[in-house]
Chain A
Amino acid sequence: SQTIHQWPATLVQPVGSPLSLECTVEGTSNPNLYWYRQAAGRGLQLLFYSVGIGQISSEVPQNLSASRPQDRQFILSSKKLLLSDSGFYLCAWRWASGRDTQYFGPGTRLTVL
């Protein structure tokens, strides 16, 4: 079976500090991977997606970046956090081919102070 992990679960960071969130998937190969942000009371906003190692597509220009150094690892980063970066960050995966159902990880709740 497939499992998706995210860490840390919660994070409190000062404005201007760097960020690194990690997502890993087990039990599948070459998944499509996604980073979403959900601000308080808001919908899911797609930030980045990746269809393979080193392949990153950005949906929303901002001070965040993503990388995929390994097949089942997806990292979200920032050099300097803004207050507006606070939110619930969700990683999701789907099979590389076939049905397009996405499965979400447990999420990271980020508070920028």
Chain B
Amino acid sequence: QKEVEQNSGPLSVPEGAIASLNCTYSDRGSQSFFWYRQYSGKSPELIMFIYSNGDKEDGRFTAQLNKASQYVSLLIRDSQPSDSATYLCAVNNGITGGGNKLTFGTGTQLKVEL
């Protein structure tokens, strides 16, 4: 069974600090990796995707992928109270056809404290 693991948290960081969220996956054939943010009571919204090993930066967010170690992380610089949410990691095994399904982790709750 393909699995995506995340620490449920809560992860508490002070305002202005760097928040580091981690995710590991079991399927070595995984090709695409996604981070979604979900505020309480709302639907997930896409933050970033990454396909290649290394770092990908978008504003205050940096996604890091290491396929050899089978982990993907999300760094949030200059954390703001508005970043307080649950962050979901999702993985696609890249097999064409079959609906291109994503496997989601259970999410890490982030709390940014004043």
Contacts and interface: CB of A to CB of B under 8 A. Distances in A.
A103 B46 CA distance: 7
Q: How large is the interface on A (under 10, 10 to 19, 20 to 34, 35 or more residues)?
A: 20 to 34
A61 interface: no
Given A99-B49, A101-B34, A103-B46, A46 B101 contact: yes
B59 interface: no
A90 interface: yes
A107 B42 contact: yes
Interface in B68-106: 88, 90, 92, 94, 98-102, 104-106
A3 interface: no
A34 B43 CA distance: 14
Interface of B: 32, 34, 36, 41-46, 49, 88, 90, 92, 94, 98-102, 104-107
Those 8 A-B pairs whose CB atoms lie nearest each other, nearest first? A43-B106, A49-B99, A44-B104, A104-B43, A100-B100, A107-B43, A100-B92, A104-B44
Interface of A: 32, 34, 42-44, 46, 49-51, 57, 59, 90, 94, 99-107, 109
